[in-house]
Structure formats: C-alpha cells, structure tokens
Structure 1
C-alpha cells in the first residue's frame, strides 16, 4: 500500500514503511505528526521500522524525534543515504531519538535490519 502526503510518499510493508520526503522540504513537528497519524492508523500496535530513503535533499528539525520516541509501536528508525551530507545529518539526528537507529547506504540492508528487528520483537512478545 502507498500513501502520498503533500510532502512525502510512504510505501507500507509487513514490518516497515519506506518514506521518501520530497525535494526541498523542511520536516517540522506538524509534518511529523501527520506521518505519525498515518503510521498509527496502519500499524496500530504492531512493531514496525520507519525507513527514510533519502534520495532527495531536505531538512529535518531534529527535535521532532523527542515526540517520535514516544510512539510505542516504532521499533526502530533507519536512514538510507549514499550522500555524505545525508549520512552526517543522520549521525547528528540519531542523538535525538530514543529508539534503535541505524544508517545504511543500501536499501536492501535497511530492509533486512528492519525485518530482523521486528521479528525479534515479535518473538519477545512485544
């Protein structure tokens, strides 16, 4: 299933969502709240991983992660980027999120990590 908001596209899978933010966007708390509502409606209480596929250039207000950390179904967060500025930004953002947070250059590696994390949480009775 795919959902498009004015600033992003989200593609949903069993254990994760892949989000692609549009070029030039600034991800604010308001935009993050919109995404969170869509994620809550889809995943309910099932653990999932949010994968942001950073193929476009955009900005994120890192303080949004304080609220994102409170989302109990969010098992982990992944940034996929091949660009040095994107990786550098992700390292900085990681300090603001109180969830497992990984950075990959390859989307397939991110998906494997997401599936493994969610399957482990399910086995533990999340």
Structure 2
C-alpha cells in the first residue's frame, strides 16, 4: 500500500521500505523540512530501516546542512538521488560529504529501488 501526501513544496509517497519525493519547482529545501521526514520515520518506519529517494525532476535548491540533520534519523539507512542532470552530479557530491550514511546518484527510479533493496538487505545482515 502506498500512502501519498501533496505538500506545497513537494509530493511524497510512503512505500513499504522507502520514501519517494518530488520537490516542487523553485523550492528551497531547508532543515525544517527534516521534521516531516523524522515524523514519517516515527510513524511509518518505527524500528524498521528505510531509504529516502529524491526524484529530482524539477529545478530547486537544497540547503546542504539538511543532510547533517537527516543523518541523525537512526533507521534511515540510505539516500538515493535520481537525476541525469550533470549539475546534480556535482550537487550530490557535496551532499555526500555532509550525509553520514550512504548516498548515491542514479539515472532511473528502477536503479534507485534496486540499490535500496541491496542496502536494506545489507542492514539486516549487519544487525
């Protein structure tokens, strides 16, 4: 079952073991948005690992410090970015330096979901 939310700054889909977001055009993603992610982690993924997948189809900016806060969510085991924009490659490299967990860039949702499956399986093998 997929649960969907439509906020003014993004669309969110809550899946069994991942969150998929599409940010609205022109949005600036700031640390206060992390509170929504933390609430979702508590409500939908209590004591369960999950991955955050950002489908970057629109143009928007990210305050990189948000990744420091995201890293504090215990059961968030990875962050996937989906984009084939060369500028996103550079942005993702910066974000990787601030995110204390695994963060990868993918061209397609399919690739991101395959990686999500691997990283969650790896989490269960380690715990």
TM superposition score normalised by structure 2: 0.91
Query: 1:24 corresponds to which residue?
Result: 26
Whole-Å separation in 2 of the counterparts to 1:40 and 1:83: 32
Query: How many residues get paired?
Result: 125
Instruction: Please tell me whether residue 109 in structure 1 is matched to residue 126 in structure 2.
Output: no
Stretches of structure 2 lacking an aligned partner (at least 5 in a row) = none
**Which runs of at least 4 in structure 1 moved beyond 2 Å after TM superposition?**
122-125
Partner of 2:84: 82
Alignment match of 1:72 (pick from 68, 71, 74): 74
Larger displacement relative to structure 2 (93-102 or 25-34):
25-34
RMSD of aligned C-alpha atoms?
1.3
Residue 6 of structure 1: how far off its partner (Å): 2.2
Unpaired segments of 5 or more residues in structure 1? none
Task: State the distance in 1 between where 2:14 and 2:58 align.
Answer: 19
- Checking the alignment, whether the CA contact within 8 Å between 1:49 and 1:78 is kept in structure 2 is yes
